[in-house]
Amino acid sequence: MGILSGKTAIVTGAGSGIGRSVAELYAQEGANVVVSDINEKEGGETVKLIIEKGGEATFIKADSSSPADNEKLVAETLAKYGALHIACNNAGIGGPAAPTGEYPVEGWDKVIAINLSGVFYGMRYQIPAMLKSGGGAIVNMASILGSVGFANSAAYVAAKHGVVGMTKNIALEYGTQNIRANSVGPAFIATPLLKDFDEATIKFLESKHPIGRLGKPEEVAELVLFLSSDKASFITGSYHAVDGGYLAQ
């Protein structure tokens, strides 16, 4: 019996990186996992990996920046599994790199739509379903940049700060109704989000972490699992860094 046995979980952006690791770990611990992503091929691969290991998962295509897609995602989850107990709102993009005074407006709009509004849209429909299911746990993927700034990343920093604040609000609003919400702040993690970075940039990023390396998706997933489980029953409204010491500087 895993620590999530009998639970149903949605993971957005679960086609790769941190989202895939979270989905796999949820399934390993007994949850029915709804793998959501805009990329059908990658999402299907995550489901395949889970099923090959004896887990239960299904893929539902959804664009996190679409309110209608988020509503459909929850409705289809309920239709298949009958309840919703856990949500990891993980889908996100990096966005352009430019000083704020030169930041492309269309880049700002896209980053905010996916990284901030997408988390709101997710919770907007997840919370009513969780209330009907007797409660639940929400883990929102923020970043170390939900706590500090990073030059040339205004949209990403603003969105992730917003995720941290919005998560606190959910804790205040639904704490007595058995819904917990926390945010997680990964540092730079070795995921496809960094695929366009050259070797010199990767080396620079590694040097920013006192532990001397980038993080691994599965290291973030372990924290997400804990916060999603009943082992974290008195933890809500808080921000948890998994950052190799980045924020200690």
Residue 166 pLDDT grade (very low, low, confident, very high; cuts 50, 70, 90): very high
pLDDT value of residue 197:
82
pLDDT band at 247 (very low <50, low <70, confident <90, very high): very high
Domains and CATH numbers, the chain: 8-238 (3.40.50.720)
Lowest mean pLDDT among 78-92, 103-117, 135-149, 199-213: 199-213
pLDDT digits (tens, 9 = 90+) for 133-146: 999 999 999 999 99
The pLDDT > 90 percentage for the chain reads 94
How far is the C-alpha of 83 from the C-alpha of 72, rounded, in Å? 14
pLDDT in tens, 201-219: 899 999 999 999 999 999 9
Active site residues: 156
Region 164-178: mean pLDDT is: 98
What is the DSSP secondary-structure string of 126-194? Answer: HHHHHHHTT-EEEEEE--GGGTS--TTBHHHHHHHHHHHHHHHHHHHHHGGGTEEEEEEEE-SBSSGGG
Is a pLDDT exceeding 90 seen at residue 192?
no
- pTM comes to 0.96
What's the confidence (pLDDT) of residue 147?
Answer: 97
Main-chain dihedrals φ then ψ at residue 215, nearest 5 degrees: -80, 170
